[in-house]
Amino acid sequence: MNARSYGASATISVDAAEAILGAATKLFGDRGFHGASVRQLADESGVSLSNIYNYFPSKTDILLALLREANSNLRRQTGEAIATAGPDVTDRLRSGVQAFVRYYVENREISIVATSEFRYLNGVARSEIVAARDLTQRVFTTLIEEGVAGRRFRTPHPHEATLAMLTMCSSVNVWYRDTGPLDADDIATRYAHLAVALLEGV
């Protein structure tokens, strides 16, 4: 997305790009990537069909922009939480898991699209998103390796434990409803506890 390069009309351009991405989140969520047409995206966003193509040459570019934004926000929020959690490896893991879970709870719609529609990306676009996801995973892998080396996490299966931890946390968006008895912070705190248990933290 380089809408800001449109110069004098920069503010309007950013709004239009955001309107398109907002419409895509809704329509890809409701109908799937192949089920939603660019015409429907135009109707939903209020941006004309021809103008959509000024921002995004193809529907795939819209999906890529969505997933790029989702992964970037997840990585930033998680990274900041870990960086400000102090020196203890278990504290850093808890803090990272809490931020990760909060992201999925607070961004249900886009994170469900990111999970279910990723399979429609191919080639360079796919590689970019795989690399972005790997960056977030790598942060947790490194933390868990540190905890295992220091005998703070005793799991004999750190690789599978890392994948299990990330997938159980990212799946909260499937069942969590903000009308339930627990708010995002409660869920995040409980999942941090579950993550430490999973890793056999001491």
Given the rule CB under 8 A, which residues bind a second copy? Answer: 29, 31-36, 115-117, 119-120, 155-157, 160-161, 163-165, 167-169, 171, 174-175, 187, 190-191, 193-194, 197-200
Instruction: Give dist(CA 98, CA 45) in Å, integer.
Output: 33
Give least dist CB 162 to a second copy, A.
Answer: 10
Instruction: Give dist(CA 199, CA 144) in Å, integer.
Output: 8
Instruction: Give dist(CA 89, CA 126) in Å, integer.
Output: 32
Q: Which is nearer to a second copy, 4 or 159 (CB)?
A: 159
Q: Which is nearer to a second copy, 85 or 192 (CB)?
A: 192
Crossing angle of helices 123-149 and 158-170, in 10° steps, is: 120
Q: Which is nearer to a second copy, 92 or 133 (CB)?
A: 133
**Residues whose CB is less than 8 angstroms from the CB of residue 17 and which lie 6 or more positions away in sequence, other chains included:** 1, 3, 55, 65
**Residues whose CB is less than 8 angstroms from the CB of residue 125 and which lie 6 or more positions away in sequence, other chains included:** 60, 61, 63, 64
Give least dist CB 84 to a second copy, A.
Answer: 25
Q: What is the CA radius of gyration of the chain?
A: 19
121 phi-psi bin (left φ>0, alpha ψ -120 to 50, beta other): beta
Give least dist CB 202 to a second copy, A.
Answer: 12
Q: Which is nearer to a second copy, 119 or 151 (CB)?
A: 119
User: Rounded to whole angstroms, what are the CA distances from 19 to 52, 79, 101, 114, 198?
Assistant: 10, 28, 26, 18, 40
Q: Which is nearer to a second copy, 124 or 197 (CB)?
A: 197
Give least dist CB 28 to a second copy, A.
Answer: 9
Give least dist CB 168 to a second copy, A.
Answer: 4
Give least dist CB 37 to a second copy, A.
Answer: 10
Q: Which is nearer to a second copy, 79 or 201 (CB)?
A: 201
Q: How many CB atoms lie within 10 A of CB 4?
A: 11
